[in-house]
Amino acid sequence: MSQIKKVIIPVGGFGTRFLPATKAQPKEMLPIVDKPVIQYLVEEAVASGIQEIIFVTGKGKRAIEDHFDYAGELESFLESRGKTELAKEIRKLSSLAHFAFVRQREPKGAGDALLQAKHLIGQEPVAVLYGDDIVDGGPACLKQLLEVYEKYKSPVLALERVPKKEVYKYGVIRGKKIAEKTYDVLDIIEKPSVQDAPSNLISIGKYIITPEIFDYLLHVKPQPNQELYLTDAFSAHLKKGGKIYGYEFEGVRYDCGDKLGFLKAVVHFGLKHPDVGTAFKSHLRRIKL
């Protein structure tokens, strides 16, 4: 069993890339077929052995609380209509894990969101999942990171190789390969230009962080857009001689915070879906592009 018991999931952002769909609902509740994006992340945490989930929410995010709440009336209604399986599935949602909610007053970036949950963490290491990145295939992505943490007892980043022209969207690392898929991270740069990027190995939104990272976060300067970047805390930690490891995870990532990534996720999970997968595949084959 891992000593990491909690995961923080920041969900305070406005989701401007999906407006107007996200004007009156959280982007994390957009459905990939019939399951909201946020549920994939909670299931990833649970599949990794984590039972305590802390959401850092903001204005307009109550639907996330409701989604993981007990819904007795809906269950009885489904039972009364003979939809027993669906009723069971709905019940399971509220007992998946223990949920806690803290509020971020303003959307000031994921670094600030993490600080809002600091008092619930104390001196423990903790997992962090950003609300956009879903990984499918292979063991749960977070579980893979936990195994690396158990070995090195230092912060761990989930790494992916992307085409060089895309690095400007991510935190990009300079690292030394020390074992199969494992890197000693020597530097990390947030959203560099393609020319300045130290590699094409980017960090996706899944991390294990240790208490020192929170201490560095308290001292990082906000970016010009007022956001606090977790990457800046990682840089400070590395500059002081701290260690960070990166792991090229197994599986395929879908960036559901981006329109194209979201559509790819819908197609991927739609094709795998037990109710509609086969019919969806025939439909896609018939489409003339």
**Is the CB of 49 or the CB of 222 nearer to ligand G1P?**
222
- Identify the residue among 202, 209, 213, 228 touching ligand G1P (CB under 6 A): 202
d(CA 39, CA 58): 18
187 binds ligand G1P (CB under 6 A): no
The type of residue at 64 is I
d(CA 57, CA 46): 20
36 binds ligand G1P (CB under 6 A): no
Which residues, numbered 110-139, are part of the site for ligand G1P (CB under 6 A)? Answer: 130, 132-133
Long-range Cβ contacts of 275-278 (<8 Å, 24+ apart): 276/33
- Identify the residue among 147, 190, 212, 248 touching ligand G1P (CB under 6 A): 190
48 binds ligand G1P (CB under 6 A): no
235 binds ligand G1P (CB under 6 A): no
d(CA 32, CA 226): 31
CA angle (137, 142, 147) in 5-degree steps = 105
d(CA 157, CA 41): 16
| CB-based contact 11:62 (threshold 8 Å) | no
**Token pair in block for residue 234:** 């990682």
User: What three-state secondary structure class fits 274?
Assistant: coil
246 binds ligand G1P (CB under 6 A): no
- Identify the residue among 203, 238, 249, 265 touching ligand G1P (CB under 6 A): 203
Looking up tokens 């989604």 gives 67
**Is the CB of 207 or the CB of 269 nearer to ligand G1P?**
207
Which residues, numbered 153-172, are part of the site for ligand G1P (CB under 6 A)? Answer: 170-171
Which residues, numbered 253-282, are part of the site for ligand G1P (CB under 6 A)? Answer: 257
28 binds ligand G1P (CB under 6 A): no
List contacts with ligand G1P (CB under 6 A). Answer: 130, 132-133, 170-171, 190, 202-205, 229, 231, 257
